[in-house]
């Protein structure tokens, strides 16, 4: 198994957008047909997709459900979904609709038992989002910064049976500054859970660096703005990931 490249589709008002540092007021719109975008990624060789309901992350419930359903119906691979998923009912709903993995963020910090219960109910299906700003966990759409370190939060779930940790350096997300490879690898080495890197991927160099550390526990990488801005070719990224 090689490094997984997850192209990202972030949803706001039914449109495909990218935010800068998680700021809803700094959204760039890249399209108004999310399902078609998913098909384009599949055509380039993507077998995995990372989808975020941004409105849902702030509202604490599904807001872009219709767009997500459209993506799931037209993307032939695995869809990983996050954003506002904070109840057992919402987790079960998305698995029933064909989502492969559900990402739990804010609820992981506020209600760790919820994560453990869901990981037992849906083996291999739960991903915990570890969103950090300067090493400290950020929640509620990254609007709040806690006093918990990213590593401390991750270690709370080592025995929970979660499929992976999704680590995002909030200060780099959507800015094309380059992925925080060092922090990602440090986290992967410090916990016995696969880690997915996110935030700041600027080009093929980031993919190569993360692929080199696949054996350290880096399972995958999420990339969005670099793809949409033409700085990263998805087919080339997948090729580099598979070759490492």
By annotation, the residues acting in catalysis are 10, 131
Token pair, residue 149, equals 């370190």
Nearest to 232 by CA among 35, 82, 18: 18
Token pair, residue 85, equals 């998923």
Are the C-beta atoms of 224 and 232 separated by less than 8 Å?
no
DSSP string for residues in the chain: --PEEEEEEEEETTEEEEEETTEEEEEEEEES-HHHHHHHHHHTT--EEEEEEHHHHHHTS-SSHHHHHHHHHH--SEEEEESS--SHHHHHHHHHTT-SEEEE-HHHHH-HHHHHHHHHHSTT-EEEEEEEETTEEEETTTTEEEEEEHHHHHHTTTTTT-SEEEEEETTTTTTTS---HHHHHHHHHHSSS-EEEES---SHHHHHHHHHTGGGTEEEEEE-HHHHTTSS-HHHHHHHHHH-
């Amino acid at each position: 198994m090689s490094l997984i490249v997850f192209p990202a589709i972030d949803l706001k008002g039914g449109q495909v957008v990218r935010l800068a540092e998680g700021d809803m007021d700094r959204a760039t719109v890249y399209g108004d047909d999310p399902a078609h975008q998913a098909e384009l990624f599949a055509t380039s060789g993507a077998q995995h997709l990372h989808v975020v309901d941004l409105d849902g992350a702030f509202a604490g419930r599904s807001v872009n459900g219709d767009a997500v359903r459209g993506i799931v119906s037209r993307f032939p691979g695995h869809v990983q979904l996050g954003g506002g998923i904070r109840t057992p009912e919402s987790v079960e709903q998305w698995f029933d609709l064909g989502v492969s993995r559900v990402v739990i963020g804010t609820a992981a910090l506020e209600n760790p038992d919820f994560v453990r219960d869901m990981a037992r109910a849906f083996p291999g299906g739960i991903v915990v989002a570890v969103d950090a700003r300067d090493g400290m966990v950020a929640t509620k759409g990254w609007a709040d910064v806690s006093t918990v370190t990213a590593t401390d939060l991750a270690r709370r779930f080592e025995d929970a049976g979660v499929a992976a940790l999704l680590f995002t350096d909030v200060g780099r997300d959507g800015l094309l500054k380059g992925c925080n490879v060092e922090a990602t690898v440090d986290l992967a080495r410090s916990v016995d859970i696969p880690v997915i890197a996110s935030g700041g991927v600027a080009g093929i160099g980031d993919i190569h660096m993360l692929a080199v550390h696949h054996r350290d526990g880096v399972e995958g990488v999420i990339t969005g703005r670099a793809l949409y801005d033409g700085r990263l070719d998805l087919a080339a990224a997948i090729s580099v990931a598979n070759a490492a």
